[in-house]
Amino acid sequence: MIKQRRLLVEWAVILIIAITMVAVLATSGATKRLDDQLYDRLRVWHAPPVDARILIVAIDDDSLRELGAWPWRRVWHARLIDRLRSAGASAIAYDVLFVEPTADDVALGEAMRRGPPTFVPMLFRAPGPNGAAVEAVPPASAIAQGAAGWGHVDLKPDGDGLIRHIALAETADGGEGAQGAAPLPHLMELVYRNATGHPSPGFGGPAGASLLLPYTHAVGDFPTVSFASVVSGEVPDAFLRERIILVGATATGIGDRFPTPMSGGAAVPGVELQANLLNGMLAGRLIHTIAPRWLAILSVLPVGLVMLGFWRWTPGTALRCSIIAILTVVVTAILALVAGHWWLPPGPAIAGLLLVYPLWGWRRLQAISDYVDQELGRFRAEQDLAIPERPSRLPRDVIEAQTIRLASAIDRIRDIRRFASDTVQHLPDPLFVTDLPGRITLANGAGLRIAGGDPVGHNCADLLRDLSAKSPDYDADPGELALPDGRRFVVARAPLQHADGVQSGWILRLVDITTIREGEQAREEILQLLSHDMRSPQASIITLIDGPLGSGIAPDLAARITRHARRTMALADNFVQLARMQAVAFAPVEMALGDPLAEAADELWSQARKAGVAIATRGLEEPLFIAGEPAMLLRAFVNLIDNAVRFSPEGAVVDCAITRDAASGFALCRITDHGPGISPELREGLFGRFASGGNSGGSGAGRSSAGLGLAFVKAVVERHGGQIRCDSSAAGTCFTLALPLLPL
């Protein structure tokens, strides 16, 4: 219990450490570099197809050669817009800043006003004036008035310098003409609204909230034409009609270039980056990033589930489930990205899973090591069989020492098991080991022989019943096992327990009592012979005395001879009954106590009448029920009443009364005579075998049957769980029998 509590505390500490670490990693972005690397490899599964409406008009090297060095006069941009308007383009977005005013701004503004809708970027300048962090600088006034809208093109690279995130809304405070603290939409957000008539789904978040750019598969996926070729009319109108035109610099040395995961770190022109953003918005594949607090909750879940599983899993299962949990986290991130357009960084959850398995495995291994050391010490300290230990080599380190001790303990257990197995197998008595339901799990050699085969797996009770059923005297004694060959067995059963005392089954040993039963049968035959040989001569003597041949014998002598003959017969009967009672198990039945008493009085009525003694019974009508053996109780009552009748004076009354003792729950049977009584010194050994009341001053009850009658009575009473008491005085003797009553 103490070890289990300690393991629970350690488990809780590890869980708290893991949850805290995962939450910190999720909220702090400490695993962002790992998550970004994983995202870069997974993003191709989410890459949207290229929208056919998007066309890049590139300010490329060919355009610089034809139109001159950069920067150009803005009149060229006015000519481009007019050319696109005549070709039927649907919208134009510039990735070129028109912040500084020039003489051509009015012409460019007028061209923008004539259409198609043209959108231009603003400049984010940091730091801003008057202590502001950022200043949002709009396009030149004439251009701003002619443009359909202007928005930010601000980019914030990640820690590794790659552009993965972009904000569709930014806030900036600053200089003159700025839009203050109101959210500033991204330039592509304005183009999307012009194309669809509503804001994009990703614009509704808080200002500055970033989305992941849904890049296409590779650089250069978008169709691109040269600025100069469009202005000169080389590009046919059909190629420009209904297109969303993105104008930006791609020539060497001008314009911004940004490293992206799409290019493997190579610089990508800003106009192509804007094309990827607009393409993802039109395809509905903008990738949302989960809030840090929700990421912490979702990352903690697999760690908590795996920690709960550690209580039930084996080390191998725990390792497999930990690997499955890591794969599940990665697959969940992939499914969320591909199907739900959400990026769930798996780094915090993976880091937590990578932490808890070795940490918990180490603590578990340490607990097992401590437990093995403790149990090996207890095993060595326990007293067991005198089996010599096997020699072992000296250890070289702690682990090897523990391994050697464990191997030594296992070898010793094998030796003890072999010793026990050999001992059981060579027992002469049949022995069976069963589980708690009674199915046999082990049988020794004698058990196999008596069962006639391998009984393992069979029900032991059914086996013993089948063996007994084959015996001719199957129903003779249900408590014994009688085999057809005449052998008899009794089943000795003992519980089989584990070392901690919990019972796991039974050990059944069949004890051969064939010799005992043969001896009992011989004893019974001897008792029968003894009883017959002792009774027959005495009965013949009584017959001769009572017959014609006894008429010549003096009456006093004849009475004495008859009395001694009857005493000899009573002695034989009591001896046989006492011996049988001690050899036979107690087999009571529910009975009324008054029945054997009334029967005994009736049996002795003729003898009492000849002696001039009356027998009175009281309380027989009261329902006093006991668990008793009627024959034994009848014999006991006959002995007591017979003694009382024979030694009571003529004209006396032998009182036989039964009452209930409510306080003790016993029935009291009192047999009282009116003889001269028994002296105190004789009463001390009155119930012993061959005790006698003497020849003078003693009641007949004390001199009965040469001392076996009262011994028999006492044995009967104690056999019924009762007690007998003798109270005697000069006025008579009273024997009180107390027998337990059955509950009402």
Decide: residue 735, CB within 10 A, 0-12 exposed, 13-18 middle, 19+ buried: buried
Question: What pLDDT band is residue 534 in, cutting at 50, 70 and 90?
Answer: low
CB 704 within 8 A of CB 714: no
**Is it the case that residue 658 has pLDDT exceeding 90?**
yes
- Using the Cα atoms of residue 426, residue 430, residue 433 and residue 439 in order, give the sign of their dihedral: positive
List, for residues 553-571, the tens digit of each pLDDT value: 777 776 667 666 666 666 6
Which residues on adjacent β-strands are paired with residue 287? 212
Q: Establish whether domains 431-512 and 586-744 are of one fold.
A: no
**Is it the case that residue 298 has pLDDT exceeding 90?**
yes
Question: What pLDDT band is residue 583 in, cutting at 50, 70 and 90?
Answer: low
Q: What is the pLDDT of residue 396?
A: 62
**Is it the case that residue 451 has pLDDT exceeding 70?**
yes
CB 331 within 8 A of CB 277: no
Most confident range (mean pLDDT) of 67-76, 199-208, 693-702 is 67-76
CA atoms of 312 and 672, how far apart (whole Å): 78
Radius of gyration of the chain (CA): 58
Domain locations along the chain: 2-42+290-374, 49-284, 387-423, 431-512, 514-584, 586-744
Q: What is the pLDDT of residue 181?
A: 59
Name the residue with higher pLDDT: 142 or 586. 142
**Is it the case that residue 2 has pLDDT exceeding 80?**
no
List, for residues 608-640, the tens digit of each pLDDT value: 998 899 999 999 988 899 999 998 899 899 989
Question: What percent of the chain shows pLDDT beyond 70?
Answer: 80
CA atoms of 483 and 517, how far apart (whole Å): 13
- Tell me the CATH class for 586-744: alpha beta
CA atoms of 630 and 140, how far apart (whole Å): 131
Buried b (16+ CB within 10 A) or exposed e, 539-565: eebbeebeeeebeeeeeeebeebbeeb
* Three-point CA angle 355, 361, 362, nearest 5°: 90
CB atoms within 10 A of CB 403: 13
List, for residues 206-235, the tens digit of each pLDDT value: 544 678 888 888 888 999 999 999 999 999
CB atoms within 10 A of CB 624: 21
CA atoms of 548 and 562, how far apart (whole Å): 15
List, for residues 394-412, the tens digit of each pLDDT value: 666 666 676 777 777 777 7
Name the residue with higher pLDDT: 573 or 321. 321
CA atoms of 647 and 649, how far apart (whole Å): 7
CB 581 within 8 A of CB 620: no
Pick from 685, 704, 19: which is nearest to 297 by CA? 19
- Which residue is listed with tokens 């005297």? 473
Q: What is the pLDDT of residue 282?
A: 93
Instruction: Note the Cα 562 to chain centre separation in Å.
Output: 84
Helix (H/G/I), strand (E/B), else coil: 178 = coil
Output helix, strand, coil percentages for the chain, rounded to the nearest 5: 50, 20, 35
Q: What is the 3-class SS of 305-332, one letter each residue?
A: HHHHHCCCCCHHHHHHHHHHHHHHHHHH
**Is it the case that residue 526 has pLDDT exceeding 50?**
yes
Mean pLDDT computed over 227-249: 94
Does the domain at residues 431-512 carry the CATH identifier 3.40.50.1820? Answer: no
CA atoms of 393 and 407, how far apart (whole Å): 11
pTM of the entire predicted model: 0.55
Q: What is the mean pLDDT of the chain?
A: 82
**Is it the case that residue 81 has pLDDT exceeding 90?**
yes
Question: What pLDDT band is residue 328 in, cutting at 50, 70 and 90?
Answer: very high
**Is it the case that residue 358 has pLDDT exceeding 50?**
yes
Pick from 197, 202, 121, 139: which is nearest to 169 by CA? 202
Which tokens is 230 given? Answer: 């469009």
Decide: residue 93, CB within 10 A, 0-12 exposed, 13-18 middle, 19+ buried: buried
